[in-house]
Amino acid sequence: MPFSHLTDNLDKLAQQGLYRSRRTITSPQGIHLQLGGKSAVNFCSNDYLGLANHPAVAQAFKDAADSYGVGSGSAHLICGHSTAHHALEDELAAFTGRERALLFSTGYMANIGVINALVGRGDAVFEDRLNHASLLDGGLSSGAKFKRYAHADTAHLEPLLALATGNKLVVTDGVFSMDGDFAPLPELAAAAKNQGAWLMVDDAHGLGVIGKHGGGLLEHYGLSQEDVPVLMGTLGKGFGTFGAFVAGSEVLVETLIQSARTYIYTTALPPAIAEATRASLQIIKTENWRREKLNTLVARFRSGAEQLGLQLMPSSSPIQPILVGDSQRTVAISNALLEAGFLVSAIRPPTVAQGTARLRVTLSASHEEAMVDGLLDALDAINGKLGQAAL
């Protein structure tokens, strides 16, 4: 029978606790979600600043839809590049302190397109072992010699760089999406400069969230365009909307316009999304209290989790993973939390390494301290029911 082996593969995933299922949400994105007829406090969204359903952002979208319609109609290089797109690119460039910015339809497409435009056969790309799948896929598909260095280990990277020939590109996440820790960007920038390499940082989980003014990990470390020539950011996390951008020099952006296939051969994101993002960017720049509150909630959660003896990972970001280990046990805890009214994702292989399944708790500026305390109480109760080995 055709595809019978696919059925066997799906059965094996289910038996190993690795089968993934979608949940249908019937409410707007936010900290309170309706799913399957049940209400839950959302602790698994990347909407870190609570902007996905912010009234000003939503109104900007509606107003722009009245002006521009819903679709963009074409790729940027045909007839899809609107004044809304252009204004957002200029504002993102100014926000990140770079010469220019270029919009992409998704973060995955941005990473694939940039890496393939910058390196190819005869070149070399070096990636952190825990990089996001889109970065790894970009490196593997480029045709360049592909090397992975130990997580956040510049000492392992440097001799690899010294042996390489051709163009050299070092690629790293800024804030690692499954662990929540920071890449050692100053050390990576120095190593790249010493070896004549470019450094590319995917700061999807840092922009808007990290840094006094939301400038991300580069603001946190005080790094410039010269230190990090290629910066990628997504708009569906801290910005609360959709899409992605790459920021850097005039030469970089013009090269991507001419060479990045995932930019050239796809429809531009809707202009209404661009206008909504312009509204969210203004909130990011002016409402510092959101980052301050988020930092307070992170500290409260970590303190409470440590008092309960939960195995946290070393993260000061809104991503707060609780290491469980066993995939099936992780799913059981996630399901028990949902029954208690809290939505927390169970992250399992292949997203993370075997034996490191975890509950990926993410915090938002829209959460209140009582919600954080309620989640901790639920974790404590579930831990007692399932046994101390549960968490």
pLDDT tens digit sequence for 284-294: 999 999 999 99
Rounded Cα distance between 209 and 33, Å, is: 22
Buried b (16+ CB within 10 A) or exposed e, 179-204: bbbbbbbebbbebbeebebbbbbbbb
Q: Are 219 and 210 in contact (CB under 8 A)?
A: yes
Tokens linked to 204: 């999807």
Fold agreement (18-47+288-390, 55-286) = no
Rounded Cα distance between 91 and 351, Å, is: 34
Asked whether residue 107 carries a pLDDT value surpassing 60, the answer given is yes
CATH architecture of 18-47+288-390: Alpha-Beta Complex (3.90)
Q: Given 177, 317, 334, 364, which residue is catalytic?
A: 177
pLDDT in tens, 64-88: 999 999 999 999 999 999 999 999 9
237 is catalytic: yes
Q: Could you state, in order of their start, the residue ranges of all structural domains in the chain?
A: 18-47+288-390, 55-286
- Look at residue 364 and give its three-state secondary structure: coil
pLDDT in tens, 356-384: 999 999 999 999 999 999 999 999 999 87
pLDDT in tens, 124-162: 999 999 999 999 999 999 999 999 999 999 999 999 999
**Look-up of token digits 């969204």:** 45
Distance, CA of 264 to chain centre:
23
Q: Given 132, 147, 168, 237, which residue is catalytic?
A: 237
pLDDT in tens, 222-250: 999 999 999 999 999 999 999 999 999 99
| pTM confidence score | 0.94
142 is catalytic: no
Instruction: Find, among 179, 125, 156, the residue nearest to 313 by Cα.
Output: 179
Vertex 346, ends 220 and 14: CA angle to 5°? 145
CA pseudo-torsion sign 252, 224, 298, 367: negative
| 55-286 placed in CATH 3.40.50.1820 | no
- The average pLDDT across 269-275 equals 98
Q: Determine the pLDDT at residue 128.
A: 98
205 is catalytic: yes
Q: Determine the pLDDT at residue 2.
A: 73
Rounded Cα distance between 355 and 348, Å, is: 9
Tokens linked to 84: 């809304």
Q: Given 168, 205, 293, 367, which residue is catalytic?
A: 205
